[in-house]
Structure 1
């Protein structure tokens, strides 16, 4: 935990509360305010601070101001009664724009992980003027119906022609057992969550248990309501009224970063994303799963810095 807290000790950073759609979103800007912006969009059920501080610092040292934030229903942001007020991935994309507006940012290099990658793609399609470059990390193509693929898998049905592969069965099992129980103490919460992270991390790289433990402890301490993040699963299945074909309109220079051992979205998802976006560059990271382990902070940041360099003016 001390390592995470000290990573940004000597880097200027500012927090603010963003008001949008009747909600409050926690957001943080790291780096000098006159530099080009990188907007980091986390995945489903994940807080903004799950972008490792070391990764953020590396981007800030590379000449950027980095903006990260908590999605609605995560961390210090507002929670929503989803039954009374359902929302969609498109609404979550609007939240991202509100964060940019709050920091006075017309255009940003947008980096999205997992569901955040879908949000980033949607922004590039619907608000191209706001997206300087696009980076999708451990994600899949816009319009992919993973929920339906999982349902067919669980029912023992054959996949549809050209259907992208569903998550690994061991991951689906781990996701069910990792749901936080209401009123769980921190140790019970950690005991439930760490097996999931081990599966998400993948078998190839050493598993840094203490780093994941520290990250999840931070998640536990920051959350207004740990159970609220499950609403992202409902938002993710509600659709965006957009399809993979819409990615042909993306003009932003695009990088697709993906692990070779991703159990959530096997590499075929990355290949399909890169094929759908004109001129996109695909980089497969050997051994990486569906997580951002600290040991890859420098590698991932370096890929993004290289990608953004030509447009960072």
Structure 2
């Protein structure tokens, strides 16, 4: 095959193939990249985050490394259905079923699971309950199943001391930002951006350079894609309903990578250490200077860690 023909075929694989996945009366937006015959990696985003917040640079690097990549919007974010949570509450286990439905829709029997933040809990949940579907597990910027973050946050906000043995809550700076940086329901784009950017600055952490234009462009995309920005708050309630037990992670047989930033203000490094300790044979990799975001400057580093873990490096 000529060089130009190879390039055209490769470029075609970098164009997302979108589809709507229907599950349990809901519509989930999803897209895949890469050769459908290659091993699949499912990218599972965190709470209140859209699938497109998996940077295009990470997707490209994974496709270049020989993987088929799927990313999707959880229920209540982006182009997926919104839910009346009071009438139809759901849990992290339900969100894990959504992930399986996405895989089924794309004909992927098994996949490398990569989950960020709440997505890491969803990926862990699947590694426990649907081990036969999980080739490898990567828990990124997350915490172990069974961690009661909501209770830890409530104690921190009340000025109460932590419970002995409890994993540390988010930093005081982040707690302050979380309660003050969500925009009003009817906020226009500029008002929305003005409210959100201070939160991203804290989540990004104090070490790596903060490029405001990068986060502004990301949040603009989030704003323009969302059916209902307020619906994303339901993910907090779903997580507070419980994720299972840390002890369940002892049953995980999939090769596991725990990726975490040294400056994570949401889940300080002790969360990563606890996750790696709970999963037999898990490998812990700390990313120096990274907070609780995925800055584009780290796209290649994060993707290469995933490729190495999945055996595609």
Please report the TM-score for the alignment, with normalisation by the length of structure 1: 0.95
Other-structure match for 1:146: 149
Alpha-carbon distance in structure 2 between the residues aligned to 1:125 and 1:41: 16
The one of 86, 90, 99 equivalent to 1:83 is 86
CA RMSD of superposed structures (Å): 1.2
The one of 222, 225, 235 equivalent to 2:225 is 222
- Mind listing any 5+ residue stretches in structure 1 that lack a counterpart? 1-7
Asked if 1:31 is matched to 2:37, the reply is no
Other-structure match for 1:193: 196
Question: What is the 5 A alignment of 1:254-293?
Answer: 254-293=256-295
Alpha-carbon distance in structure 1 between the residues aligned to 2:33 and 2:227: 23
Question: What is the 5 A alignment of 1:153-172?
Answer: 153-172=156-175
Alpha-carbon distance in structure 2 between the residues aligned to 1:18 and 1:186: 29
- Mind listing any 5+ residue stretches in structure 2 that lack a counterpart? 1-10
Alpha-carbon distance in structure 1 between the residues aligned to 2:69 and 2:183: 30
Contact 1:180 1:227 in 2 (8 A): no
Question: What is the 5 A alignment of 1:29-178?
Answer: 29-178=32-181
Other-structure match for 2:303: 301
Q: How many residues align?
A: 303
Per-residue CA deviations over 1:147-178 (Å, capped at 9, x if unaligned) read: 11111112222211111000001101111122
Alpha-carbon distance in structure 2 between the residues aligned to 1:179 and 1:154: 17
Other-structure match for 2:22: 19
Per-residue CA deviations over 1:281-301 (Å, capped at 9, x if unaligned) read: 000000000000000000000
Deviation at 1:10, TM superposition (A): 6.5
- Aligned partner of residue 160 in structure 2, secondary structure: coil
- Structure 1 outlier segments of 4+, above 6 Å: none
Alpha-carbon distance in structure 1 between the residues aligned to 2:309 and 2:198: 34
- Aligned partner of residue 102 in structure 2, secondary structure: helix
Alpha-carbon distance in structure 2 between the residues aligned to 1:37 and 1:235: 27
Alpha-carbon distance in structure 2 between the residues aligned to 1:204 and 1:109: 30
Other-structure match for 2:235: 232
Please report the TM-score for the alignment, with normalisation by the length of structure 2: 0.95
Other-structure match for 1:3: none
